[in-house]
Amino acid sequence: MTPAARDVRAGRPNAAARPRAGRLGRPGGPRSLPGRWSSTIAVGVVALLLAAGCAGGSSADGPGGAAADGPPRSGGTLTLLNQTETQGVSPFKMQIITGTRGDGVVGFSLYGGLVLQDAATGEVSTSLAESLDSTDDVNWTLKLRPGLVFSDGTPFDAAAVKLNWERHGAPQSTSSSLAQVKAIASTTVVDAQTVRVTLTAPNGQWPRALAGNTINFIVSPSSIDKADTAPVGAGPFTFKEWVRDDHLTLVRNPKYVDAPRPYLDQLVIRPIPDAGQRYNGLVSGQGQIEYNSADFDSLARATEAGYATYTTKLSGGMAFVLNNSRAPFNDVRVRRAVLLGLDVKLLNDLAQGGRATVATTIAAPDTPFYDPAIAYPATDRAQAQQLLDQVSAEKGGPVTFTILVNPQNRATAEGIQTLLSEYKNIAVSVTVSDSPQPTIVQGDYDMGVSGNFFVDPEPKIYDAFHTGNPRNTSRYSNPTVDAALEKGRSAQNESDRKAAYAVVQKGLIDDAATLTLWRLPSSLTHDDTVRDISTIEDGVLRTDLVWTTK
């Protein structure tokens, strides 16, 4: 049977209106369903995302509410204190679109996005694109909004999209979107506004892959060869200055398609990796808002001090990947011993003062794929010791491994080391690195700090656990899980997706594929001058919607 046509469309506010919640159905059309691309979302007066407090998270009472001070005020400068520096200002150098790294907010601010994923619902809507649809999940038609231009006046057309995607896939490319462009068999410019994309295999969830990766950011053809130092996009802001590891300054794009946005005249992003210093910077007025996805202590201090915090709710969580391709974690018994032997609640007390929300399932409660029956096993010290003894007897010595971790998560790694040291026949060491990710990607590690968090399982879970995927840093492989992941991305309805991801979740837990600890606190803490916070993906600030009262 031929799949029903899928169509992603966005509601947008008119130039004078404040963004409002809602979706409009095309006359006579059905309502859209979560997780399915539908032809029911019309371009009109509704917003792509909801106003503050309604788009992907929750905010404390007080400043930041959607109706705090009437219509948005234009003008002013917002300084965001971010926990990491961006890898670059060029989409070809950036990592995936995530709030946990600096690339997401910088990329969105400079380039906007063809499509955007609502952090609250997981639904994808168009932004710079007008529509994205398919009749068979292999051939997709992307239509751009009419009259789009880059900030330098260059037309934002189908040829520009094709050129950018080809650059991501060029020989010797190190783009983080390589897997996405390799999944494209061909790209055809139909006309100035239309691109036809043919995938190498059916993917009914392809818009999610577009929303969460840097192929969503389109550079002006005039600056594509100098995007490292002089980037030009069609996002809400334009590039002014970047002093690496100090600050990035962006200014309002007067040619932004969704005027009168952005409301800010200037956006300054300052990377401050140390959570304590970052919070102190907020308190001392070095910035009005800070992003935090790792430090529960500073979040608690901020709450006690009366600051408002907007948190994007995510499934998965803060995790340590286990290298399934080499000893000792190529033995499932060792992986299970760690999973069963580690008392995560006690680790939470030791490393986070008991403030974290321990992940008992992969999908979080109140999300479409949550099933309380598919849960991580309870701590079982006796079984953990039995497994360690079995492996040790066979190998002729204790199970040994090193945890590779960044400074922000050192206390957690050392907590794991301490709790596992209570067992016999195991020896754990900890290595701290300012940048462990490249080593983890190369596979030269035993256990490494990572993140296994998502709004929707596609494409994050597929990328993280499908056999041979470049982002499968654990080198995990299970044919049953692979088949379910493929079913999940090609399924035609929500019930089939739920069934597929139930198989995935059960397989990952049974195989102890990775060590997930607690839900990620993807949070934006701000002072009383900041208004209308909302996020995309896993907590990327919508810098086109935020504004300040002074």
SS (H, E, C) 142-180: EEECCCCECCCCCECCHHHHHHHHHHHCCCCCCCCCHHH
Tell me, what's the pLDDT at 215?
Answer: 97
Euclidean distance between CA atoms 163 and 160, whole angstroms = 5
Tell me, what's the pLDDT at 57?
Answer: 57
| 86 in Cβ contact with 101 (< 8 Å) | yes
Tell me, what's the pLDDT at 169?
Answer: 94
Tell me, what's the pLDDT at 21?
Answer: 29
Report the chain (550 residues): mean pLDDT per 10 consecutive residues. 48 34 26 34 30 41 47 97 94 90 94 93 92 96 97 98 97 91 96 97 94 97 96 98 97 97 98 93 97 91 95 94 98 98 97 95 95 97 98 97 93 97 98 90 94 92 94 96 96 91 98 96 96 94 96
Euclidean distance between CA atoms 548 and 550, whole angstroms = 5
Report the helix count and the strand count for the chain, using DSSP H and E: 14, 24
Phi, psi of 413 (to 5 degrees): -60, -40
Identity at 450, one-letter amino acid code: S
- Domains parsed from the chain with CATH numbers: 6-230+523-548 (3.90.76.10), 315-518 (3.10.105.10)
